[in-house]
Amino acid sequence: MDGNGNCIFCRIINGEIGSHKVYEDESAVAFMDIRPSQPGHLLVIPRQHVPDFYNLEDDLYLKVMLVVKRLSEAVSKVANPAKVGLAVVGFEVPHTHVHVIPLQKAADFQPGAGGSPTLQSSGEELAEMAARITAALGD
């Protein structure tokens, strides 16, 4: 990893900060958002510290987006939403990350905290949802 020691996502990748991981491989890591806008809201990040998604090497971009696609299918199975929305914003944490958010209606689409309402989810709720999503990957 080409990390930034102060980046919270790099610290999660390095195991310095706990998270509710649902997926990881040599290119990407996915974990539950600790301030979800909807139950099942997760983040997919590249292991390499790149602040802006458009600066990812094409190969890494494709690998990350294939993980996003696979996890979107798992979130759809678990949360049974009308749609699964995606967002790449990155104001709060300057490490490329894709929000994967189950949606029942367009108004549910509120990635990131930055003033948007978020759910209060306990660690147990996040762990349970992470386990359900991880199990759905095997289906």
Residue 47 backbone dihedrals phi, psi, to 5 degrees: -65, -30
Distance CA 81, CA 104 (A): 5
Helix axes 58-79, 123-137, angle to 10 degrees: 110
Question: Catalytic site residue 97?
Answer: yes
Classify strands 42-46 and 83-87 as parallel, antiparallel or unpaired: unpaired
Q: What token pair was written down for 98?
A: 């894709």
Distance CA 124, CA 137 (A): 20
Q: What token pair was written down for 104?
A: 């029942």
| Active-site position among 20, 95, 97, 99 | 97
Q: What token pair was written down for 19?
A: 């998270």
CB 71 within 8 A of CB 58: no
**Residues known to be catalytic:** 97
